[in-house]
Structure 1
Amino acid sequence: MSSSNIRHKIDFILDPASGVPFYRQIIQQVEQAILAGRLVPGDRLPTIRSLAIELQINPNTIAKAYNELELRGLVVTQVGSGTYISDKKIDIEEAERQKKIEECLGRFFREMEALGVKNKEELIQLIQEFKEE
């Protein structure tokens, strides 16, 4: 079977304008697919290489997302076999909290960029120097 015939249970769509890093978008989409029942325990995620080619992004970005998902216990990686959805249940409250945090951060980064803050170092310095009145 050629790889072009393999149909994934999840179609990853990345939004460069969202302000959310691509690896976070991948994590969110896997979490949402698990919550919606589109991905179930034992389902195999696309390989890092194939997903990087499909999304036209660096394979390290995919690896970072998969590593984070593994740290959260949502996937298990079997060397030589692939990355699979685990049987761990997602804490919906934690998923919602994470989604809200990332939405706020996306807005914050877009606003900072509009104000001329272009790099992380400047942003970190501004946050460290910030004093709430």
Structure 2
Amino acid sequence: MILSIDGFEFNNKEPIYLQIIELIKKNIALGLLTPGTKLPSVRELSKELGVNPNTLQRAYGELERLGITYTKRGMGSFISEGENEVMNLKEDMGRQLVKKFIEDMKAIGIDKDEAIEIIKREE
């Protein structure tokens, strides 16, 4: 299987279909899924992940709605073509991580400047 699911485990904090979307996006950002790559069939991946095929179909539908994938009738789902999409995806994922990090730091009383200093010390 092209899609890397090693070590992937579902959590109870968010819907499974959203976690599947993030798994696929991470595989794209890491270069494991490249533009034009065919995704596993709904049946194949739902079996591999141990989820209902309807859940996986929902994830695939949302990926297509976001422009991350496209469907060829009778052939399956494919990663959208173009390097800009991959770069935009990576940047978007990075922004989401930074936003969550800043929110978590604020929750423990650390402001943005202090958080930046902590990061600098960790490099």
TM-score (norm 1): 0.61
SS of match in other structure, 1:16: coil
Q: Would the aligned equivalents of 1:14 and 1:22 in 2 still touch at CA under 8 Å?
A: no
Please point out which of 64, 73, 86 is paired with 1:79: 73
Q: C-alpha deviations, 1:26-77, integer Å up to 9, x for none? A: 1111111111111101111111111111222111110111111101111111
Within a 5 Å distance, the mapping from 1:1-133 to structure 2 comes to 7-11=1-5, 13-17=8-12, 19-88=13-82, 89-90=85-86, 91=88, 92-98=90-96
Question: Aligned partners of 1:55, 1:49: CA distance in 2, in Å?
Answer: 10
| Cα distance change, pair 71–99 in 1 and its aligned pair in 2 (3 A) | farther
RMSD: 2.5
Deviation at 1:98, TM superposition (A): 4.1
- Change in Cα spacing, 1:50 to 1:100, as seen in structure 2 (3 Å) is farther
Displacement of 1:87 in angstroms is 1.5
Measure the CA separation in 2 of the matches of 1:102 and 1:67. 26
CA deviation after TM superposition for structure 1 residue 95, in Å: 2.0
Q: Which amino acid aligns with 1:14?
A: E
Taking structure 2 as the reference length, what is the TM-score of the superposition? Answer: 0.66
Count residues in correspondence.
97
